[in-house]
Amino acid sequence: MKRRSFFQVPQVLPTVVLLSVVLGLSLSSAFATNGYFRHGYGTKNKGLAGAGVALPLNTLIAVTNPAGMVFIGRRYDIGFSLFNPNREYTVKGSPSGFPGTFGLTPGTVDSDAKPFFIPALGANWMIDENSSLGISVFGNGGMNTTYPSSTFFGSTPTGVDLSQLFIGVTYARKFAG
């Protein structure tokens, strides 16, 4: 007796193709970020889109997984990122505020803030084959906005300029083979 396969190519292929086309056409653009924190720290980890937490590639692994330092050996890293997000807001409807409050003028307002650099550097030294001592220095930046004074009914420009620099000292040890 001939055994039948559940997935027979001639019967399933048109259904799979049709389902793939329908799903592909139903997708929309995603304008998402990882909030205030970055997807990865350092060029290699940014390229992994956050999966670098499980794959130690450089001394910036200490930012997301300090235990990974023991797997990278003795090394030194330095780099920077250019951060240039689009900063704007759009107000629809007039008045835009809750009744009894001042509303914002309808329209789109762009921030005058410029791009900025975010540094990253680190070093790792092996104490023995199962333990290491490292240091990682990395920056975290905000959205750094500058809006004109007429935007919020004030006489001076408004915005935020948030910059942080973190220094992390790490001791890591392997416990199993």
Distance of alpha carbon 64 from alpha carbon 70, whole angstroms: 14
Task: Look up residue 172 and give its two tokens.
Answer: 């890591």
Distance CA(131)–CA(77), nearest Å, equals 19
Please say if the pLDDT value at position 150 is more than 70.
no
Query: What are the boundaries of each domain within the chain?
Result: 34-173
Residue-wise pLDDT for 12-63, tens only, equals 778 888 998 998 888 776 655 555 677 778 888 888 877 888 889 999 999 8
Phi, psi of 44 (to 5 degrees): -65, -45
pLDDT in tens, 100-124: 666 677 778 888 877 888 889 999 9
Peptide bond into 95 cis (omega under 30): yes
Q: Angle 155-87-83 (CA atoms, 0-180°, nearest 5)?
A: 120
CA distances from 67 to 39, 108, 138 (A): 19, 46, 17
pLDDT tens across 67-109, in order? Answer: 999 999 999 999 888 887 778 888 777 665 666 666 677 778 8
